[in-house]
Amino acid sequence: MPTLICDLDGVLFGDPSQRRVDAWREANGGVLGVTTAADLDDDEQRAFRAGRLTAPEYAAHLRRRLGWTGSDDELARLWSAGSAVVLEVVEVIGILRERGWSLVAADDTDPWTAQGRASQLSWVRSLFERVVTAGDAGARRPDPRYFAELLRGLPSGPRLYVDDDPRNVSAARRAGLDAHLFNGAAGLADASRSVLLTSG
């Protein structure tokens, strides 16, 4: 039985980063201490995403960084509000499911994103037989422990891994997966066909 393992964040969801910044700016009266999502990339954000900084600690940092005047709850709500499901990808995943593929999602997003998706977009997780989180693995990608957890209990057969981060694709290849860099729904469909052809 073939298995698709895909990065939930980078494959199923469009990039919410700039929409998040725009929503904060609007909620903050049109004034914000950053201009683009790239301005948010700092040591504190990386620590928050890795679970080394708590949500209240990151909220305090972000409040200073943005010049935020609203509540921490609103800050966190708008953080996850920008997520948009890529319906073309959902369609490809549905087709693979109908054709007998086993579906596994890799999800090691930050706590605010996970909370927002759990409350608003739980149906996306239900597309998969299994969702592997950083908590399940005790690590985040590209750590080999994460990929060991992904591989645990997989059925025999071709195993396709798709991710939008080249570091994770390289780590998946080192773990023995047929890994491809995500380049849209059509690319996902092509990669699934390719895996079946090379395994047959």
Determine the residue type at 27: A
pLDDT above 80: residue 40: yes
The pLDDT of residue 190: 93
Q: How far apart are CA 25 and CA 155, in angstroms?
A: 47
Span 104-123, pLDDT tens digits: 999 988 888 777 777 767 88
Span 58-67, pLDDT tens digits: 999 999 999 9
The pLDDT of residue 89: 93
Q: How far apart are CA 80 and CA 62, in angstroms?
A: 14
In degrees, to the nearest 5, what angle opens at C-alpha 146 toward C-alphas 81 and 88?
45
The pLDDT of residue 114: 77
Q: How confident is the model at residue 16 (pLDDT cuts 50, 70, 90)?
A: low
Q: Spelled out in words, what is the top-level CATH class assigned to the domain 3-15+84-199?
A: alpha beta
Span 126-173, pLDDT tens digits: 899 999 988 888 888 999 999 999 999 998 999 999 998 999 999 999
Span 74-115, pLDDT tens digits: 998 888 766 678 889 999 999 999 999 999 999 988 888 777
The pLDDT of residue 45: 87
Q: Spelled out in words, what is the top-level CATH class assigned to the domain 17-81?
A: mainly alpha
Domain with CATH 1.10.150 in the chain: 17-81
Domain with CATH 3.40.50.1000 in the chain: 3-15+84-199
Distances (CA, A) of 66 to 25, 28, 40, 53, 80: 9, 9, 9, 18, 16
pLDDT above 90: residue 174: yes
The pLDDT of residue 22: 85
Higher pLDDT, 178 or 198: 178
Residue 156 phi, psi dihedral angles, 5° rounding: -70, 155
The pLDDT of residue 10: 83
